[in-house]
Chain A
Amino acid sequence: MALLEVRDLKTHFRTDDGIVKAVDGVSFSIEKGQTLGIVGESGSGKSVTCLTIMGLNPKRNTISSGEAIFKGENLLAMSSSRLRDIRGNDIAMIFQDPMTSLNPVHRIGAQLVEAIQLHRDVTKRQARARALELLNAVGIPRAERRIDDYPHQFSGGMRQRVMIAMALVNDPDLLIADEPTTALDVTTQAQILTLMTDLQKDFGSAIIIITHDLGVIAEVADDVVVMYAAKVAEHAPVDNLFKRPHHPYTWGLLGSLPRLDADVERLVQIRGQPPSLLNPPRGCRFHPRCPYVMGICKTVEPELLPAGDEADHVQACHLDVATKDREAAKVLAGTMAEAS
């Protein structure tokens, strides 16, 4: 049985302008100790997906449906107190911006201790020892002296280490990392990713890592979900995706892999803007931006189906397999050529 199985997850927000379908039928699963990457542009619904699983969307004006079965229990249907028991204990989360994700008025030690004491019946002293252990584990230098510092006294990278320490402090089965490196500089990004993979080995947690950066995915993920406009565009094991991407949107993302020799500009290769989720395009949601658009794309929504022979590689595109392989090869060749 999968550690977490998400089935047909939908999250709709009621706004003054109408209903925003932020997540519209997403399914995936993750096994113990595995790493799942969710990739997509801003607003594609990847963060909302995870917040929905965690029950962290604002209650008012949010309608969620579908299932998120975690160790046999549906997270979406459980009581809020049961969910609180799971949050921070079985499932922990780290967020995109370490500068704002730590409470500025509490010492970091206190914030870690709080996380422990919420789930463990331990004394403050024991909790503090555990906190210190984790701070050391995430590589905070002289942690015993810095434990009583405030967040603003740490650099961004150090703060993200603190966040990771806080997430791991209760030894969770699943760690959801929402763009954990986006706000960090490139060197620090690498360190944090290495740290996460190292810790995954030590702690044995499964990780869902959300990013818009395929480079990150390539480094850490076992399995990849590509999201576009609240839906899954492509879902494949990581090697498969990079070797044989099937969806034009994924090609676009691949084209946007940051390269050390050029200015880092993301998604320049995909023209246009992501669609409004208030009123998404009919048919394939990517069709207004797709260079391979056909008549059918504008009217019929493609289903998520295996492309070719690989059953674990699904995608939602009307193009035939041959065209896909040809175009994918071009994209990959171009990327390689530029990269080399």
Chain B
Amino acid sequence: MVRYLARRVIWAAVLFIAVTLVAYVLFFLIPNDPAKLVAGKAATDADVKRAAHFLGTDRPFYVQYAKFLDRLVIHQNLGFSFANRQSVNSIVGNAAPVTASLVFGGAIFWMLLALPIGILSALRPRSLLDRASMTFVLIGISAHPIWIGLIFAYFFGFKLGWTPITGYCDFINPSTDCGGPVQWAYHLVLPWATFAILFAALYVRMIRANVLDTMNEDYVRTARSKGAPEHLVLRSHILRNAMLPVVTMLGMDISLALGGAVFTETVYSLPGLGKTAIFGLNNNDIPTVEGVIVFATLAIIVFNLVVDLLYAWIDPRIRLT
């Protein structure tokens, strides 16, 4: 267990260096000068040079990267945004709960959709329900979240008025004029649904396939031969096992979903990490983008670790070595 953790930490460090370094290098390949942004449109050469010095962009990129690492590792400080000079720690700190709300809420949403549909269509293959779910899957996999988002917001938000069209409310400590769990959930219903559709579609297929596979397992036959009624066979023997790979997938997909969150956050004006990253990219704001990358990398590393531990806990066959 200790060896396992040590190995994970070393691997995480390598991953972390690679990801942040690549992001840095990419930024320096783009012929854009953040100093010009800071100095303003009317700036003279001298103004731009002064701004570059202020930002530290007059140093070679490896020096900037070394400074970035030093700040981050020694002081846990992500620095300051080039675009608005705010502490990147606080920028990321404000955005992270929004993305977490979206991703975890979305994951719950997609599981709530995918579990019953997947199981039912496995129990009744080729039935009407199975075919209908297949259609849903096809739409979910094919349609882009931005498109779905626009459609949902137009119909449910604008035409029907069932939900807010867009916006975000804090769960606790509202920073805007709305807040609290109810408003939070109310404003997130459409984003969750939009975010969840793609994954729900994939999970319907996966759960269906897993349940169908597990139904043919020998131990399920054993359970039946013991005289166990179907509901017990399903619950205690089929689902318990069919869900094991789903848990692993869920762990990986939630990491992956951080990427997908960009679209949903954009279309629903959610001030999360994705939107922050896009904003940073548009403004050539390396510290903010690196901040999001660092945070996302750490989140994914930690999350994968948690999933591994969880998996070891629910599947007695797994030993972490």
Contact = CB atoms under 8 A, between A and B. Distances in A.
A152 B227 contact: no
Contacts of A215: none
Interface residues of B, number: 21
Contacts, number: 73
Contacts of B237: 103
Interface stretch (A86-94, A200-208, A261-269): A86-94
Interface of B: 217-219, 221-229, 236-237, 240-241, 244, 314-317
A150 B227 contact: no
A282 to B, nearest CB: 33
B222 A101 contact: yes
A54 B240 contact: no
Interface stretch (A113-121, A232-240, A273-281): A113-121
A56 B237 CA distance: 16
30 contacts: A56-B221, A81-B229, A84-B229, A85-B227, A86-B227, A87-B225, A87-B227, A88-B228, A92-B225, A97-B218, A101-B218, A101-B222, A102-B219, A103-B222, A103-B223, A103-B240, A103-B241, A104-B315, A105-B244, A105-B314, A105-B315, A105-B316, A106-B240, A114-B226, A114-B228, A119-B227, A150-B317, A152-B316, A166-B222, A166-B226
A87 B226 contact: yes
Nearest to A110: B236
B228 A104 contact: no
A155 interface: no
A150 B313 CA distance: 13
B316 A150 contact: yes
A191 interface: no
A3 B227 CA distance: 20
Given A103-B219, A105-B240, A56 B224 contact: yes
Contact of B219 (A86, A89, A104): A104
Contacts of B317: 104, 150, 152
Interface of A: 54, 56, 81, 84-89, 92-93, 95, 97, 100-106, 114-115, 118-119, 150, 152, 163, 166
A93 B241 CA distance: 22
A91 to B, nearest CB: 9
A88 B225 contact: yes
B224 A87 contact: yes
State the main secondary structure of chain B at its contact with A. helix
A118 B219 contact: no
Contacts of A106: 236, 240
B20 to A, nearest CB: 40
A114 B219 CA distance: 13
Closest 6 pairs (CB-CB, A-B): A88-B227, A88-B226, A87-B227, A100-B218, A103-B219, A150-B316
A84 B218 CA distance: 18
B130 to A, nearest CB: 13
Nearest to A85: B227
Nearest to B215: A58
Contacts of B226: 87-88, 92, 114-115, 118, 166
A157 to B, nearest CB: 17
A166 B223 CA distance: 11
Contacts of A95: 218, 221-222, 225
Nearest to B125: A60
Contacts of A105: 240-241, 244, 314-316
A177 to B, nearest CB: 12
B50 to A, nearest CB: 66
Nearest to A55: B224
Given A105-B314, A163-B222, 19 more contacts: A81-B229, A84-B228, A84-B229, A88-B226, A93-B225, A95-B222, A95-B225, A100-B218, A102-B219, A104-B219, A104-B316, A105-B240, A105-B316, A106-B236, A106-B240, A114-B228, A115-B227, A118-B227, A166-B222
A54 B227 CA distance: 10
Contacts of A115: 226-227
Contacts of A97: 218
Contacts of A102: 219, 222
